[in-house]
Every structure is written in structure tokens, then in C-alpha cells.
């Protein structure tokens, strides 16, 4: 397959493209936008997780759901997944009497978070917003479709995790030796989480910017953002687990502070992925 002129330019001068992307990200106030996205995401994540567990427990055992949720929460809030899971369990123990409050809270803050993210993306894709405006009803409905998509993804991940954990208990008898599948299962669980995160970001990059985005561009942007966050979250986990004194400084607010910092950095990675797509599109227009 013949590479386009823009692709060759990026491959031949990756540092120049990276600097151009970072410069545009700073000019677009990317750090400020990421902070706003993280703030509203933090307010909506707990009721969203709780309602997801309540809804999905009609199909899957609640203990299995919580186990899967605890594993993959480390991808979102490194070193604080157990504290968040404890809060979710606390809501579940209080029964359905809080269901209406949780639902209203989730709808309100999720729509705000999605709206802020949509506006942040529109800043990063100025050449799209000028040409065409999205119908207001589409912007209103999009958050709830994405929440539904998240629930379906969580159900799929839970079922796949159960299958892979069952696989870990098996072994293969070959050439007189027994080979445990535990290591293979652990690798597949990791790849499952990485793949689902990449898929979710790809969907976001496809639907949030106004106008058509090529699937290839959305996938590359999501792969870069996911890979960047994967490196950063491991550093954060090591830092908060070993060097950080946040629990001494912030006391009972530690979980909220650490979660907010983690979500803001994750939002930066997400917006950087979008900025890469935007810069490449503008590079194509220039060529």
C-alpha cells in the first residue's frame, strides 16, 4: 500500500510532528480543558459504577462484577481501586432506596462531563466546528448512548474475565510435563483491558468531533493515548504506592485527590490523542 505524503512526512520527521502537536495542545489550553473534564468525570464515576453494577447484577453475579471492577479500576485510578470499590460496595449495601438519587446524580454529572469533553474536542478540532455544527439533540442524546455502551462493554469484559480466570485453573499435559495456563490467562486479561480501553477511545474519537473521522485515524489516536496512559499509570501506581505522602497531607481526602490527579492525567492523554488526529488532518489539508 502506498503511503500518503502526510504519512511519509510524519514518519520521516516524527520529532517535528510531536513538537507541532504539543505546541497546538498548549495553545488550545489542553491542560485547563483536561482539568475540567477530570473534575466532572470524578463527580460522575462513583454513581455510574454503582448503577452499572446494580443493572448488570441482573445478568451476572454481583461478586463477580465487583471482582472484575476492582481489577480494571486500577487502569483508571492507580493504587486507589480498593478505596473506590469500597465506596461502591457501601452504596450497594444501602439497597435500592438510593437508586433514584444515584440515577439523577449520574445523569446530571455524566451529561456535564460529556458536554465538557465535547467542547474540549471542538477546541482541538477548530477546522471542523467552523464548517458544520452538530444538532443540539444529538449532543443531548450522545452521553446516554455512551453510558449504555460502557455498560455493555463492562458486561462483555466481566464475562470474558470469568472465562479467562477459569482458564487459569487449567493446565496442559505435553511431553510428560504439566504446563499451567495461569500466565497465559494473566496476559490475556491484560490484553483484554488494553483492547477495551482502545476501543472506547476509538468510539469517542469517532463520535465527538463534528464531521467525519476516518476509522484509521481514530484508532491510531486511541492507540497512542492508551499506550501513553499505560506508561503513566504504572509510574503513578509506583509513586503513590511507595513515595507519596498524600495520605498524611490530605487524610480522608486522599482517595478523591489521587483519583482527581489520575483522571486529569488520563484526560490529558485522551486530549493529546485527539490533538494528534487533528494535527494530522490539518497536515493533510496543507499537502
Beta bridge partners of 180: 171
**According to the model, what pLDDT value does residue 184 have?**
65
Tally of domains in the chain: 1
Q: What is the pLDDT of residue 214?
A: 86
Beta bridge partners of 178: 173
Q: Is residue 44 part of a domain?
A: yes
Report the C-alpha gap between 107 and 274 in whole angstroms: 25
Among residues 218, 211, 191, the alpha carbon closest in space to that of 274 is found at 218
Q: Residue 81's domain spans which residues? A: 23-281
Q: Report yes or no on 13 lying in a domain.
A: no
Radius of gyration for the alpha carbons in the chain, expressed in angstroms and rounded: 21
Strands 177-180 and 171-174, how do they pair?
Answer: antiparallel
Alpha-carbon torsion, ordered 149, 152, 158, 163, to 10 deg: -120
The rounded distance, in Å, linking the Cα atoms of 211 and 274 is 14
Could you give the dihedral angle defined by the CA atoms of residues 179, 181, 183 and 189, in that order, rounded to the nearest 10 degrees? 170
Q: Which residues contact 269 (CB under 8 A, 6 or more apart)?
A: 225, 226, 228, 229, 232
Q: What is the pLDDT along the chain (287 residues), one digit of tens a residue?
A: 566 777 777 778 888 888 999 999 999 898 999 998 888 888 888 777 777 787 787 787 878 878 878 777 877 888 777 777 787 777 777 655 566 676 677 777 777 788 888 888 888 887 655 545 666 666 677 777 877 787 788 778 777 777 766 765 655 544 455 555 565 667 777 888 888 889 989 998 988 887 778 888 899 999 999 999 999 988 988 888 787 777 777 777 788 888 888 889 999 999 999 999 998 888 877 76
Looking at residue 231, what is its pLDDT?
92
214 within some domain: yes
Q: How far is CA 197 from the centre of its chain?
A: 6
Residue 169: inside a domain, yes or no? yes
How far from 163 is each of 16, 155, 211, CA to CA, in Å?
A: 45, 13, 39
For residues 259 and 236, is the Cβ–Cβ distance under 8 A? no
Residue 187 included in any domain? yes
Task: Indicate whether 191 belongs to any domain.
Answer: yes
Domain contains 4: no
Q: What is the pLDDT of residue 208?
A: 83
Whether residue 17 lies inside any domain: the answer is: no
Amino acid at each position: 500500500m502506498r503511503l500518503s505524503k502526510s504519512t511519509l512526512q510524519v514518519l520521516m520527521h516524527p520529532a517535528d510532528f510531536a513538537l507541532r502537536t504539543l505546541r497546538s495542545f498548549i495553545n488550545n489550553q489542553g491542560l485547563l480543558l483536561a482539568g475540567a473534564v477530570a473534575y466532572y468525570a470524578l463527580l460522575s464515576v462513583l454513581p455510574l459504577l454503582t448503577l452499572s453494577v446494580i443493572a448488570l447484577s441482573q445478568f451476572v453475579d454481583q461478586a463477580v462484577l465487583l471482582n472484575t471492577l476492582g481489577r480494571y479500576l486500577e487502569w483508571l485510578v492507580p493504587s486507589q481501586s480498593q478505596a473506590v470499590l469500597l465506596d461502591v460496595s457501601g452504596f450497594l449495601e444501602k439497597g435500592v432506596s438510593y437508586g433514584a438519587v444515584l440515577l439523577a446524580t449520574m445523569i446530571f454529572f455524566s451529561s456535564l462531563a460529556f458536554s465538557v469533553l465535547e467542547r474540549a474536542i471542538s477546541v482541538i478540532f477548530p477546522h471542523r466546528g467552523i464548517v458544520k455544527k452538530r444538532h443540539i439533540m444529538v449532543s443531548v442524546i450522545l452521553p446516554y448512548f455512551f453510558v449504555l455502551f460502557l455498560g455493555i462493554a463492562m458486561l462483555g469484559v466481566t464475562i470474558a474475565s470469568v472465562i479467562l480466570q477459569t482458564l487459569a485453573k487449567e493446565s496442559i499435559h505435553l511431553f510428560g510435563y504439566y504446563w499451567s495456563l495461569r500466565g497465559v490467562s494473566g496476559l490475556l486479561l491484560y490484553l483484554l483491558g488494553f483492547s477495551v480501553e482502545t476501543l472506547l477511545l476509538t468510539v469517542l474519537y469517532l463520535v465527538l468531533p463534528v464531521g467525519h473521522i476516518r476509522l484509521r485515524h481514530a484508532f491510531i489516536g486511541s492507540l497512542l493515548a492508551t499506550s501513553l496512559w499505560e506508561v503513566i499509570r504504572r509510574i503513578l501506581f509506583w509513586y503513590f504506592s511507595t513515595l507519596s505522602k498524600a495520605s498524611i497531607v490530605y487524610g480522608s481526602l486522599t482517595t478523591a485527590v489521587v483519583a482527581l490527579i489520575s483522571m486529569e492525567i488520563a484526560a490529558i492523554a485522551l486530549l493529546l490523542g485527539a490533538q494528534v488526529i487533528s494535527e494530522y488532518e490539518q497536515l493533510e489539508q496543507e499537502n
